[in-house]
Amino acid sequence: MLQKFGFTQYESKVFEALTASSAPLDASTIVKHSGVPKSKVYEVLNRLVEKGLLLTSFQQKKKLYCALPLETTIEKLTSEFESHIKDLKERKFSLPPGDEQVWSLKSKKSIDALLYNKIERAEHSIYVSGWSKDIGSLLPLLESKSTNGIDVEMLSVGAINSKLNQLHVLEPAEGHEALEQYQLIVIDEEDILFAGVEEGNWQGITTKSRPLVKCFIEFFQHDIALTTITKKYEQILMEDEDIKKLLMRLRY
């Protein structure tokens, strides 16, 4: 009976058995009259109770079930159906935002041009990190954006002269210089460009894929935290050879 309204076969059988009975039934009796397996009957009963179609009570420590009057059930289902129709009429459908494509590019000039373009289009926030000699040319535009109310935060590997309020500087230790350069920019927490040097050549990726954007934001925040900790406890950390070796393995 209830299958035509989107209920399962077992739910329909249990409800029919209870509707046919003039008295409340316990689970064992419902199994007998409905044909629903004993291993499933409590799960089915609980679903029907959650849907508001059954009344429950206890008698001598035994739980009893009773179906709502059929007319009440019809009124309930009709009301819910009309409500769903109303929601459907009022709902506005649209494709989910975002571009899941990951695009790659080569050439330092192309990467720099795209970095400038993304920074210019920023509306809320800009996170940027990289080696000072690579990101220094971005400073005038970043400082202008910051002056205009954009939240700009920078991590520079190597000393850099900037007016930015949120500037974190990591002075590379001996051994860091051997690692390859990189640049990361996150725009409005929805668009990233990451570039690095592979075998002497710059290569980059850019994407608006939410999982990747989230990953790179966490990547950026991890570097900020690590820079702050390293700067504050540098002497202690560098005296421990094991920790020093771990720090030297980091990407910067």
- Mind giving me the DSSP string for 120-131? HH-SSEEEEEEE
Name the class of domain 102-248: alpha beta
pLDDT of residue 246: 67
Q: What is the spatial distance between Cα 154 and Cα 128, in angstroms, rounded to a whole number?
A: 5
Tokens of 34: 């409905």
Burial of 14 by CB count in 10 Å (0-12 exposed, 13-18 middle, 19+ buried)?
Answer: buried
H/E segment holding residue 64: strand 62-67
| pLDDT tens series, the chain, 252 aa | 677 777 899 998 999 999 999 899 999 999 999 999 999 999 999 999 998 999 999 988 889 999 999 889 889 888 988 888 888 888 877 666 656 789 999 888 899 999 999 999 999 999 999 888 888 889 999 999 999 999 999 998 888 888 888 998 887 665 555 556 889 999 999 999 999 888 788 999 999 999 999 999 998 998 888 888 877 777 776 677 777 666 666 544
Decide if 198 contacts 212 (C-beta within 8 A).
no
CA angle centred on 126, ends 155 and 156, rounded to 5°: 15
- Tokens representing residue 56 in the block: 């429950």
> Domain limits of the chain?
2-90, 102-248
Q: Residue 111: enclosing H or E segment and its boundaries?
A: helix 108-121
Q: Which of 192, 207, 183, 196 is nearest to 125 (CA)?
A: 192
Q: Kindly report the backbone phi and psi dihedral angles of residue 251, in degrees, each rounded to the nearest multiple of 5, phi listed first.
A: -60, -30
Q: How far apart are CA 102 and CA 98, in angstroms?
A: 12
Start-to-end Cα distance in the chain: 67
Residue 233 token pair: 């406890």
Which residues on neighbouring strands pair with residue 102, listed in sequence order?
A: 207
Q: What is the pLDDT of residue 86?
A: 87
Hey, what CATH class is 2-90 in?
A: mainly alpha
